[in-house]
Structure 1
Amino acid sequence: MGVVFIAAVFSAMIGASSASAGIPFFSDDEMPSLAPMLEETTPAIVSIAVKGTQTTSRQEVPEMFRYFFGNPNQQPREREFRGLGSGVIIDAEKGYIVTNNHVVDNADSILVKMSDGREFEAEKLGADAQSDIALLKIEPDNLTQVKLANSDKVRVGDFVVAIGNPFGLSQTVTSGIVSALGRSGLNIGGYEDFIQTDASINRGNSGGALVNLRGELVGINTAIFGPNGGNVGIGFAIPSNMMKNLVDQISEFGEVRRGLLGIIGGDVDAGLAEAVNSDINYGAFVNEVVPDSAAEKAGIDAGDIIVAIDDNEISSFNELRAKVASKGAGAEVELSIIRNGKKQSVNVVLDSDGSVTIEEKDIHPALEGADLSNGRSRRGNDAIEVNEVAENSPAARVGFREGDVIVGVNRKRVANIAQLTEAVEASKDVIAISIQRGNSDLFVIIR
């Protein structure tokens, strides 16, 4: 068993509310039915078909046999792929559709099909691989949008309905309950704060909707836990509040600008609570406060236990990390902390983590797959650090490596990501990027 993505391949879940208000839960003959709610909601759920090419490397030939066979790994090969997923219209006037990043990642074309049969070519406005969210845009034309629920108010046991495109079967509806909240540690992405549900989710549901009985969106279906990618009643969805925070940043900046608190810590359990003489056995324990960070400026101390953010209780350090990151740089949040057995509130203005994963639209296609952050050169000057390079990505193919430091473009210094973006956009056919690699100075040439 394992956790698997379900999109352009699969789907997932999410939680919600009661049927005491909003769209009627009963049909005309007073038989219990979800039909009235679904008639209002399903037009906002779309099917997504993608096409593109992927670069794959063949299996490495052992060195002793290369005399006979050569090294096929020297020439990666490209292959076409097609995939199916789901999406949710969140803004009918702007034509905004949210889906999972893994549904549309590396897609050359994105076709959106509505519940009434209409089809639209979609543009990807931006995406965030670490939270698995992507924002698409189509030309608005008599669209229906879903209402957003406050996912922080979702409770375990709430009834929820998953709507999506499993196995290409569009507008498929399944129901269940919210099984758990704040799920993390699944190694699905960098920031995990999932709603768990037992509503059936299968391949192709990824990016689809998890709604409550009022038809309000509580989550974006993302992954399932089960053998061979099949549904066993354990699915995961990105909470709607987290999705909304990320999408707002993508819409405004074209990228996610994550918030940073500036603490090092871990989960609170019964053993740690006993060791620090605390009656609280949940939340995030602060081991260390980073100097000159947002946390230090707000007065957070090592030994504090953070138990809530904006009056919403958190159960783990990973949940706090995901919620803080999705709030965005510059956001003001209220943290509830336990210090010396007493509860108090602290207001914090979040810093920026300074990192950004370059998408094709952000700078240049050749830099796609490079995770960059503002940093320092080996001489102590401001520069751009290459934190990670995705395997077989365009950035890897042109020669970037993890640990490289970008210091110039076309023999002009660049000190941060903004200057790098400006310099590359101003360049013409050939771009010479100056980098430091260890003790060496070299150029990466982009044509």
Structure 2
Amino acid sequence: MSMRRLLLSGAAIMVLAIGGTLAFAPWNAPGLAQVAVAPTVPSSDGQIKLSFAPVVKAVSPSVVNVYATRIEQRAVSPFANDPFFSRFFGQQQFQSRPRESQSLGSGVIVEAGGVILTNRHVIEGATDVRIALSDGREFAVDVMIEDAQTDLAVLRVREAGDVRFPAINFANSDSLEVGDLVLAIGNPFGVGQTVTSGIVSALARTGVEQSDYEFFIQTDAAINPGNSGGALVDMDGHLVGINTAIYSQSGCSVGIGFAIPANMARLVAEAGVNGGDIIRPWFGAKLQAVNADIAASLGMAAPHGALITEVAPDGPAARAGFASGDVIVSVDGTAVNDPSSFNFRLATKPIGEVAALERLRGGVTEPVGFTVEAAPVLDDSQRASITGNSRFGGTSVAQVNPALAEAKGMPYDAQGVIITAVEPGSPAEQMGLQVDDVILSLNEVLMESAKAFADTASQRVRTWQIILQRDGRITRSIVSG
């Protein structure tokens, strides 16, 4: 399970729950009245026997263990990277050899035919994936979807036959409130299926993982390595989230865990069940958070919302009448706190639906009906592949359009071609080209289209002058032909 380590410090307020009554430890804060509530003893047989067991019994069969096998190249000696030993013994002594490794995670059955939802990082790079049900039965699965933007993956049982699997029901995660009781179910540390309880500690958390849709449910239900991909359920036994990450110094639970909301997970699961691609909405504008200074300049009482800084020409936002300087403050009546909040809300809307947005313009808040659209689809004329012994052989590219430019942090009018695939062992891979590189120029020829790239890259020349963008940085290289 991928984890971010964070040192947390601060004061804690202890809350004791006794017999269903909250008793707050005294806190001598000046100006605050102290209210003491006497603890009570359970007064009935029913209060003594209150239990989560019925929820667990109904839900636990839907949670599975996920076993992912990877083949990794590892050096046969710890001195493989040491220059002295490599020179003394010869590099051949330290050649790497393939080695099999296994990782463990959890998953949730979302369709009775054998469709499972888990975290992408659980099965990323795996050559073989299997699941084990709570009753011990094991099944090989195929990976249907790996979605890096949400860190979710969809698996399907390879040979289900007549077996019907116990699928869980999705909840509306937007109905969650801080303080709601939740249960986390998974397989931490490989010890076997485990249930932990807690509450929803916070909603709409960001900065947890590097994903395009950062909008997490925070819970204090214990989540540990191996819980990734497991279920976070409510007291009705419905799925409210997919457990995905923890904050910890030690790698173990410290009461701060995070889950991907069910409303986002459902979209990915439905694409896997239907065997289709994930089609996401595209707003067509760049956004930034509203800080205190911006809020003051706009006459806002408090900083909130998503400020539009640039609008794609002829994009959905432009057609809806949005302009730079507008602040989006709500979607379908739900407040927007920042760009991550808006992106999440929009991403959970079906294509073609009209979303009710509110924008602040010139100090006036006004409603705007926004028709949810998908990003423009590239046709064959906007794609190209290079084959043969060319220096760029094994490269597939797509022409940069406004949607791709936005995703790469480039201006909407940017040109170039983005690498969509590099064949293993190809000349392109040996040259160091990578997926998502944006080639801006070859031998001083601007890459204005996929055709320009195909015509230029197929030539035989002695030297290539390459200008490309990688991870937001523009680099210039000279490579022999």
TM-score, with structure 2 as normaliser:
0.68
Q: Which amino acid aligns with 2:141?
A: A
Q: Which runs of 5+ in 1 are unaligned?
A: 6-25, 356-369, 408-413, 421-432
How far did 1:348 drift? Answer: 3.0
1:194 aligns with 2:216: yes
Q: Which amino acid aligns with 2:58?
A: E
Q: Secondary structure at the match of 2:250?
A: helix
Map 1:270-419 → 2, pairs under 5 A: 270-325=292-347, 327=349, 332-339=354-361, 340-352=363-375, 373-375=398-400, 385-386=418-419, 396=429, 400-401=433-434, 402-404=437-439
Q: 1:225 aligns with which of 244, 247, 265?
A: 247
Q: How far apart, in 2, do the equivalents of 1:197 and 1:143 lie?
A: 28
Q: Which runs of 5+ in 2 are unaligned?
A: 6-43, 379-394, 402-412, 443-448, 468-476
In the alignment, is the contact (CA less than 8 A) between 1:202 and 1:230 conserved in 2? yes
How far did 1:164 drift? Answer: 0.5
Match of residue 108 from structure 2: 88
Q: How far apart, in 2, do the equivalents of 1:71 and 1:145 lie?
A: 53
Alignment CA distance shift 1:193-1:29 (3 Å): closer
Per-residue CA distance 1:50-84 (angstroms, 9 max, x = gap): 11213468999588997657779x97654321011
How far did 1:122 drift? Answer: 0.9
Per-residue CA distance 1:246-304 (angstroms, 9 max, x = gap): 23334446543332212222112333211211235212111222222111111112222
Q: Which amino acid aligns with 1:345?
A: V
Q: Which amino acid aligns with 1:385?
A: I
Larger Cα Rg: Structure 1 or Structure 2? 2
Alignment CA distance shift 1:3-1:291 (3 Å): same
Q: Which amino acid aligns with 1:95?
A: G
Decide which moves more: 106-115 or 340-349. Answer: 340-349
Match of residue 97 from structure 1: 116
Alignment CA distance shift 1:272-1:405 (3 Å): closer
How far did 1:390 drift? Answer: 13
How far did 1:386 drift? Answer: 1.6
Alignment CA distance shift 1:327-1:250 (3 Å): farther
In the alignment, is the contact (CA less than 8 A) between 1:53 and 1:79 conserved in 2? yes
In the alignment, is the contact (CA less than 8 A) between 1:434 and 1:442 conserved in 2? no
Q: Secondary structure at the match of 2:294?
A: helix
In the alignment, is the contact (CA less than 8 A) between 2:349 and 2:372 conserved in 1? no
Alignment CA distance shift 1:396-1:245 (3 Å): farther
Q: 1:131 aligns with which of 147, 150, 153?
A: 150
How far did 1:218 drift? Answer: 0.4
How far did 1:200 drift? Answer: 0.2
Decide which moves more: 310-319 or 382-391. Answer: 382-391
Q: Which amino acid aligns with 1:137?
A: R
Match of residue 282 from structure 2: 260
User: Identical aligned pairs, as a percentage?
Assistant: 36
